[in-house]
Amino acid sequence: MLQVANIRANKEAYIEALKKRNFDAAGIFSEVLELDETRRSTQAELDDTLAESNRISKEIGLMFKNGEHQKANLLKEKTAGLKDKSKTLSEKLNETSEALTKHLYNIPNIPNDLVPAGVTEDDNVEVFKEGEIPVLAEGSLPHWELAKKYDIIDFELGNKITGAGFPVYKGKGARLQRALISYFLDKNTAAGYTEYQMPLLVNEASGYGTGQLPDKEGQMYHVTEDNLYLIPTAEVPVTNMFRDEMLSEDVLPVACTGYTPCFRREAGSYGAHVRGLNRLHQFDKVELVRIEKPENSYAALDGMVEQVKDILRDLKLPYRILRLCGGDLGFTSALTYDFEVFSTAQDRWLEISSVSNFETFQANRLKLRYKSADGNKQLAHTLNGSALALPRVLAGILENYQTPAGIKIPEVLVPYTGFDMID
């Protein structure tokens, strides 16, 4: 959430920057500033009214003490009017503050200068590519056919139990899934991230804190009776550990990792691009979250990018990195790098990770601040990234490592799986 003071100070620059997102901010900024003026003037009037009421109350007390009952009773009538005025002003202040917050919740983050202008994913900019794309034998299969051939993932059984987008992993498929989770967590903790095991449901305040609400309300599974939400990513519970916290400067940076299942309601679509593991409603993911001082956050973002690179190099999967354009940038992000792995059998790139810097956008919603050694208090920067999302990594392994004899297991995973071939 943007700070009103920053909108006031940088209004024209922010309007221009948000054009990268194809978001016209002029109208909503004017409304925000008008509401803020009303809020501030109402607060000042309320403070004056309460101060006058308190002053008169003290006078009344002295008058009664001095036996001036008639004068005291006249003043009591005035305080009754001041109380009514205070109530009216308080109601107006609450309504104005709520309207202001609602407007602010609907304004996306200001994109970093590095974000390219653009409308769709076709306008994203490739900034890095690494790894050799394997040449597969004739008759090679996409992962959904391999899953059926080797009986390691059952999409039809998942559809029977729950519905489309909820696969059942079996035998070596389940063990490979577990191996990936353990490997990702081990890589992250070795890099200095503290592992957390988090709840899979969060309250409404947590959804608003990291920006999933109200922006992605339709994509989240809502447990209506308890007003809880199934998490779309571990970013939500992990980052919300620091909601309403004042951190000491000496604890920064904070680096967290965690594995969770993730749940997303997405509009249904059809075709090979969403078949099998390409798009799921429930999937596993290992997440990275960092809390940083503002001056260090972009160096930290680069470090997170290198962390994901290192994992993909270990897996020996061909991948590329895209800098997202304004039209494809997430609502809360100031700068995002997407990682994509190449699926040889599908002959296309599959997104497997996003690494983002939110700057102060989430921290302002979360009221997440830190206190420097000189006592100065300021908003922290938050960052997050997938390291990694499992479904498309698994799809890439199955498709790129297939041979006529079976599916080889990446060497780095063999100590975790206990086998080196699915056949």
Residues forming the annotated binding site for L-serine? 233, 264, 287, 384
| Tokens encoding 218 | 């339709």
Rounded Cα distance between 408 and 316, Å, is 12
Query: Backbone phi, then psi, for 352, in 5-degree steps?
Result: -125, -10
Nearest to 325, CA basis, from 24, 18, 15, 20: 20
| Tokens encoding 423 | 């056949």
Task: Give 118-140 as a 3 state SS string.
Answer: CCCHHHCEEEEEECCCCCCCCCC
| Tokens encoding 16 | 């221009």
Query: DSSP state, 164?
Result: T
Rounded Cα distance between 180 and 85, Å, is 63
Query: Backbone phi, then psi, for 115, in 5-degree steps?
Result: -70, 125
Rounded Cα distance between 341 and 395, Å, is 9
Question: Residues at the annotated binding site?
Answer: 233, 264-266, 287, 351-354, 384
Rounded Cα distance between 334 and 47, Å, is 37
Question: Residues at the annotated binding site for ATP?
Answer: 264-266, 351-354
CA distances to 21, 114, 410 from 314, rounded to whole Å, are 35, 29, 8
